[in-house]
Each structure stands twice: as structure tokens, then as C-alpha cells.
Chain A
Amino acid sequence: GDSVTQMEGPVTLSEEAFLTINCTYTATGYPSLFWYVQYPGEGLQLLLKATKADDKGSNKGFEATYRKETTSFHLEKGSVQVSDSAVYFCALGYQEDSSASKIIFGSGTRLSIRP
């Protein structure tokens, strides 16, 4: 079946450091890929997405490229801020014609940024 694997946390970085959170997937079809962010005590917010191979999703300085050859969707940011501290979830989903999309989430990576 389909699955998402992402690097275990917690990840602790200093402010302005470069961030990479690895994510790989296995899929039977051609899913869309997502990164969601969950701030403390809140629900999930869609951070970025890519719908097909070689697409790059970007938002708030974060980027991720849909790599079909390596089945990866790594999240990167050039300079992190304290406000980026949160849990990040990699996910995949299919948008079928007749029904709503189910999303399969990775286990989440907790990111803590030191001032």
C-alpha cells in the first residue's frame, strides 16, 4: 500500500540555519504530495504542495520538489526563524473523480529553532 516516511525528530537548529527535512514515499499511482505544519495546540495547515513530478511547491520561504525518480519530497528552507518551530508532516493524496481525497500522513518531524 501507499506510505510516507519522514525523518524522525526532534530537529533542533539555530536561527538562520539551513533546514532539510527528508521525506520519501511509496505509491501505487500518481499522487499529489503535501507538506503540512502544525503549530502547538493547533490543527494542521497546508504549507505547500506539488501535484506532479518535477513540480516545486513553495510558501513562506519553504520549498519542496516532487522527485519521482527518487520518490522524495524533501522540505527545505534557507534560513529558519524561531516562529518556524512546529511539527511538519509530509503527506500524499489522490484526488479521485467520484470521491474525496484521502490523505496519508508521515509520522511528523518536530522542529525547534533556538534564538
Chain B
Amino acid sequence: GAVVSQHPSWVICKSGTSVKIECRSLDFQATTMFWYRQFPKQSLMLMATSNEGSKATYEQGVEKDKFLINHASLTLSTLTVTSAHPEDSSFYICSAIPGPMRPQHFGDGTRLSIL
């Protein structure tokens, strides 16, 4: 149980385009979802915390207009990288929890490459 699915797993696109990444909790309702960014050979950095039906809380230094997060339902959160540039290339990972004080369940990640 507690499966989190991310789609797509890999995306390559041209500079200037916008890319949407989906994060779904398949067998539970996720009250909160998290979005992380992982640079090569580095740790995960929390980008934002997303609660269903409310605005995401962004970590310091993360541009909210650049990384749009929508948590429209209890099983789906989306991260849209707007006007992506090569420096946005990274591995993006989401996680979800079924309720407060519950462990995070991670998706398999999305590798984003901007040409």
C-alpha cells in the first residue's frame, strides 16, 4: 500500500517551454504533498509543501512564479515549471502523506532535461 506515482518519469524539452509534472497517491488520500529537487550527486532539497485546497508553502529561495504547484484534489498535486531553462534541469521528486504525523511516501521522481 501507500503508492505514489509520478508522471512523466523523464521529459526533455526546449528552453522556454512549460512542463507539468503530476504526483498521484494511488491508494490513499494525501492531505499533504511535498515537492523536492535533487541535483546530481546531491541531496534532496525541499521546494514546497502543498496542502489540498490551499496555496502551497514555498521554501526560502524557491520562486513561486517559476514553480507553480496545484493540489486540486486529495490524490493529485502538479508542479509546473514555467518558461523552463537549462538551469532548471534536475530530478524532481514528490512525496505524500495520508495525514498528520504519518510517514512520507515518495514517488519515483521525474528527470527534467531542458535543452
Contacts and interface: CB of A to CB of B under 8 A. Distances in A.
Interface of A: 36, 41-46, 49, 89, 95-103, 105-108, 110
A103 B42 contact: no
Given A99-B100, A103-B104, A43 B49 contact: no
Interface of B: 4, 6, 31-32, 34, 41-44, 46, 49, 51, 93, 95, 97, 100-101, 103-104, 106-109, 111
A39 B103 CA distance: 19
Contacts of A106: 43
Contact of A105 (B41, B44, B97): B44
Q: Give 3 nearest A-B pairs by CB, closest first.
A: A100-B32, A43-B106, A95-B101
Contacts of B103: 46, 49, 101
Contacts of B111: 41
B46 A103 contact: yes
Contacts of B46: 102-103
Main secondary structure of the interface of B (DSSP, over half): strand
Contact of B97 (A97, A101, A107, A110): A101
B109 A108 contact: no
A75 to B, nearest CB: 15
Contact of A89 (B4, B44, B95, B100): B44
A70 B41 CA distance: 27
Given A43-B93, A45-B106, A97 B100 contact: yes
B106 A44 contact: yes
A93 to B, nearest CB: 8
B100 A98 contact: yes
B24 to A, nearest CB: 13
Contacts of B6: 43
Contacts of A46: 103-104
Given A43-B93, A89-B43, 5 more contacts: A43-B109, A89-B44, A97-B100, A100-B34, A105-B44
A12 to B, nearest CB: 15
Nearest to B9: A41
A45 B108 CA distance: 9
